[in-house]
Amino acid sequence: MLKTALRLAAISFVVFPVSVSAQPVQFSTHRDYPSGYGPASIATGDVNGDGIRDLAVANRLDDSVAVLLGNADGSFQRPVSVYLGPNSSPCSVGIGDFNRDGRLDLAVANSGANTVSILPGNGDGTFQPALSLAAGTGPASLAVADFNGDGKSDLAVANTGSNDLSIILGNGDGTFQPAQRWVTDAGPSFVAVADFNRDTKPDLAVVNSGSGTISVLLGNGDGTFQAPSTFGAGGTHVGSIAVGDFNGDGAQDLAVTNTDANTVSVLAGNGDGTFQPLRDFDAGQGGPRDRQRRQRRHGRREHGLGTRRRRRRHLRRAARVCRGQRLQRARGGELQRRCDLGSRRRQQLFDDRVGVAGNERWKFSGRVDA
Ligand SMILES: [Ca+2]
Ligand SMILES: [Ca+2]
Ligand SMILES: [Ca+2]
Ligand SMILES: [Ca+2]
């Protein structure tokens, strides 16, 4: 059963072209690759040094991290998993060269074990046994950057259960200093790195799923941070955050997903660590505007089926679909018939046109003018 679930658990990838104007983005067909059970986070990097990007996936439900080596044609090989220990529940994975040997390593936040696993890479897609670092309670997200400017990769870890961030400075040899903790808002669940005040020192943006807010912590460049500034998001349930200069003014901006409102909130940065009021955008299907459109369509359909003329039209169409069937005359001019919709296509056509549901055999009554 578990193996079946493992096979079924998969990650999807889409390929999209670079959009240079406000044209709608076109997506090609996605391909699914197995990853493990409960894939929760993904990171990319060339872990085997062949010049092609590979994937690292944290599988929360089977306590593993999987690596899918990339092929030259854009496809990926079967996952190779590393087990991280019972009930480790890895939720986030990052890639960096923590021991500076030129081979990429993995960092995995284990939300069940309150640790971060460091897996030194062998440069061929395999990894050495994991080194375990203490994090806060419920580490849910992890980011890799050099927070103290010593050229050695460090870690920022959002601890959902202890409402804080762990900053874990790297020694450059694969070992790390004890974590320093920085208080955030309630339930930090996602962390991203950018330079929001343009002082070349990395800053942090943290999504607080417990309070529906975003905390921005400006870095001092020595591994310490200023007190967080807190911004509201467009919903009470925030998901993940992305950083980038979305309006091209040279200042880093924020985009955060609102899982309850089905929107994305964008906060345009002012370039000094402050942000303009948020703007909300529909996140696609399920957004407010889309929902209104669906409701209007649904209302029209329901109304249409309620009118005698439209109902007759539906029945005439249904009669054509069910050609060859027996029609039985019933009392009062009513026609009754049974039709066997042998093919799925017919069944779908029938369903679409008549608006009734059932199994293979259908029975309904109504006046048919045809
Ligand atoms: Ca390395
Ligand atoms: Ca560093
Ligand atoms: Ca900065
Ligand atoms: Ca900007």
Contact 287, 269 (CB under 8 A): no
- The CA 243 to ligand 2 mean position distance, Å, reads 21
- With a threshold of 0.75, does the pTM exceed it? no
- The CA 4 to ligand 2 mean position distance, Å, reads 42
- The CA 96 to ligand 1 mean position distance, Å, reads 7
| Whole-angstrom distance, CA of residue 107 vs CA of residue 82 | 12
Per-residue confidence (pLDDT) for residue 331, from 0 to 100: 41
- The CA 275 to ligand 3 mean position distance, Å, reads 14
- The CA 301 to ligand 3 mean position distance, Å, reads 54
Centre a 10 Å sphere on the Cβ of residue 139 and count the other Cβ atoms it contains. Answer: 34
Nearest ligand to the CA atom of 246? 4
Using CA of residue 184, residue 237, residue 203, residue 96, what is the dihedral sign?
positive
Per-residue confidence (pLDDT) for residue 360, from 0 to 100: 34
Nearest ligand to the CA atom of 97? 1
Q: Which structure tokens are listed for 89? A: 């529940």
| Whole-angstrom distance, CA of residue 51 vs CA of residue 123 | 12
Nearest ligand to the CA atom of 223? 2
Nearest ligand to the CA atom of 252? 4
- The CA 251 to ligand 2 mean position distance, Å, reads 24
The length of the chain, given as a count of residues: 370
Rounded (10°) CA dihedral 178, 179, 181, 182: 130
Per-residue confidence (pLDDT) for residue 4, from 0 to 100: 43
Q: Which residues pair with 84 in a beta bridge?
A: none
Place of tokens 């872990």: 47
Nearest ligand to the CA atom of 198? 3
Three-class secondary structure of residue 105 per DSSP:
strand
Place of tokens 């601890």: 159
Nearest ligand to the CA atom of 200? 3
Strand ranges inside 26-99, DSSP E: 31-34, 39-45, 54-59, 64-68, 80-83, 90-96
Nearest ligand to the CA atom of 219? 3
Per-residue confidence (pLDDT) for residue 292, from 0 to 100: 63
Nearest ligand to the CA atom of 195? 3
Contact 165, 147 (CB under 8 A): no
Rg (CA), the chain: 27
Distances in Å between the alpha carbon of 161 and those of 114, 174, 334, 356? Answer: 9, 27, 66, 49
Nearest to 130 by CA among 159, 100, 108: 108
Ion ligand 3 — residues with CB < 5 Å: 195, 197, 199, 201, 203
Q: ∠ at Cα 307 (306, 312), nearest 5°? A: 105
| Whole-angstrom distance, CA of residue 298 vs CA of residue 79 | 44
Q: Which structure tokens are listed for 48? A: 């085997």
- The CA 269 to ligand 4 mean position distance, Å, reads 5
- The CA 222 to ligand 2 mean position distance, Å, reads 8
Using CA of residue 181, residue 183, residue 185, residue 187, what is the dihedral sign?
positive
Nearest ligand to the CA atom of 98? 1
Measure the N-to-C terminal CA separation of the chain; round to a whole number of Å: 53
| Whole-angstrom distance, CA of residue 254 vs CA of residue 242 | 6
What is the DSSP code (8-state) at residue 219? B
pLDDT per residue rounded down to tens, the chain (370 residues): 444 444 444 555 444 444 445 677 787 788 999 999 999 999 999 999 999 999 999 999 999 999 999 999 999 999 999 999 999 999 999 999 999 999 999 999 999 999 999 999 999 999 999 999 999 999 999 999 999 999 999 999 999 999 999 999 999 999 999 999 999 999 999 999 999 999 999 999 999 999 999 999 999 999 999 999 999 887 778 889 999 999 999 999 999 998 888 889 999 999 999 999 989 998 876 555 555 665 665 555 544 444 566 666 666 666 665 454 444 344 434 333 443 334 455 555 444 544 433 333 333 333 333 3
- The CA 197 to ligand 2 mean position distance, Å, reads 19
> Quick one: which H or E segment has residue 280?
strand 279-282
Nearest ligand to the CA atom of 243? 4
Distances in Å between the alpha carbon of 21 and those of 18, 24, 26, 299? Answer: 9, 9, 13, 35
Nearest ligand to the CA atom of 152? 2
- The CA 100 to ligand 2 mean position distance, Å, reads 12
Nearest ligand to the CA atom of 149? 2
| Whole-angstrom distance, CA of residue 315 vs CA of residue 335 | 11
- The CA 64 to ligand 1 mean position distance, Å, reads 20
| Whole-angstrom distance, CA of residue 202 vs CA of residue 193 | 6
- The CA 82 to ligand 4 mean position distance, Å, reads 39
Nearest ligand to the CA atom of 245? 4
| Whole-angstrom distance, CA of residue 144 vs CA of residue 15 | 25
Per-residue confidence (pLDDT) for residue 307, from 0 to 100: 55
> Which residues lie below 8 Å from residue 51, measured CB to CB, with a gap of 6+?
none
> Quick one: which H or E segment has residue 182?
strand 180-183
